[in-house]
Amino acid sequence: MSLQDVVNGIMKSGWNAKTDSANDGFDNLKPGTYEVMLDKVNHASFPSGYECINFSFQVIAGENAGRKEFVHVNLADKKKDGAPMPDFVVSKNIKLLFKIAALSELQLTPDDLAGDETGIYERVVAKFNAGHEGQVMQMKITESPNKKDPSSPYRNYDFVESDIKVEQAKAPQDPFANAASDVDDSDLPF
């Protein structure tokens, strides 16, 4: 789709540049199960002091192919106010990190999570970026209620092995690969 096609689609939708939000029309992936490829991994650090490992997953099959989902894994053991982070939150995030690593053919150890939080993020991200991008897995998204902000439910992620192999996901798609050919040399004009 060209930029002109996108602009024409926006104009036909009735979007008003003066009054409507530029973010209208962006929706998260709906809860469900998706075949995804690990696209990028980086250490995200924000002015608020929040840090996390940011995983970018690209959907590789189905009607949402090409869309991305960003999964943040925070390994803080204390809240902003200095109170201890609930054990179940820390445990859930560690399990999620180890699950993504295992499905990315990366062996993490308890030693990888030793030291200060920033150092842990840098070390783990470097390991993922040493050839573990492009791994294919199945991502399941569920949502649960957020008591503080009911309009913004919590997104929960789980991952399992995919039936799609990495080679299939990375293989260029040849539109003529499965086409039947009834043409022989006598049909050619030369």
Quick: pLDDT tens for 105-157.
999 999 999 999 999 999 999 999 998 989 999 999 999 999 999 888 999 99
36 in a structural domain: yes
Long-range contacts of 170-176 (CB under 8 A, 24+ apart): 170/134
Q: What are phi and psi of 89, to 5 degrees?
A: -70, -50
Rounded Cα distance between 164 and 177, Å, is 18
- Give residue-wise pLDDT tens across range 70-109: 999 999 999 888 999 999 999 999 999 999 999 999 999 9
The answer as to whether 45 is a domain residue is yes
**20 falls within a domain:** no
113 part of a folded domain:
yes
Q: Which domain holds residue 41?
A: 25-167
Structural domain includes residue 187: no
Position 158 pLDDT exceeds 90: yes
Within-domain flag for 143: yes
Instruction: Flag whether 155 is in a domain.
Output: yes
Residue 60, CA distances (Å) to 9, 97, 109, 168, 171 in order = 24, 21, 29, 10, 11
Q: Is the pLDDT of residue 11 over 90?
A: no
What's the pTM value of the predicted model, to 2 decimals? 0.75
Q: Is residue 123 part of a domain?
A: yes
Kindly write down the DSSP assignment for every residue of the chain, as one continuous string: --HHHHHHHHHHTT--TTTS-TTTT--PPPSEEEEEEEEEEEEEE-TTS-EEEEEEEEE-SSTTTT-EEEEEE---SB-TTSPBPPHHHHHHHHHHHHHHHHHTT----GGGG-S-HHHHHHHHHHHHTTT-TT-EEEEEEEEE--SS-TTSPEEEEEEE--SS-HHHHHS---TTTT------GGGS--
* Cα 6 versus chain centre, distance: 24
C-alpha 186/C-alpha 14 separation (Å) is 54
What does the alpha-carbon distance between residue 14 and residue 31 come to, in Å, rounded to a whole number?
A: 28
For the segment 18-50, what is each residue's pLDDT rounded down to a tens digit? 777 676 556 789 999 999 999 999 999 988 889
Q: What is the pLDDT of residue 189?
A: 53
Q: Give me the number of domains the chain comprises.
A: 1
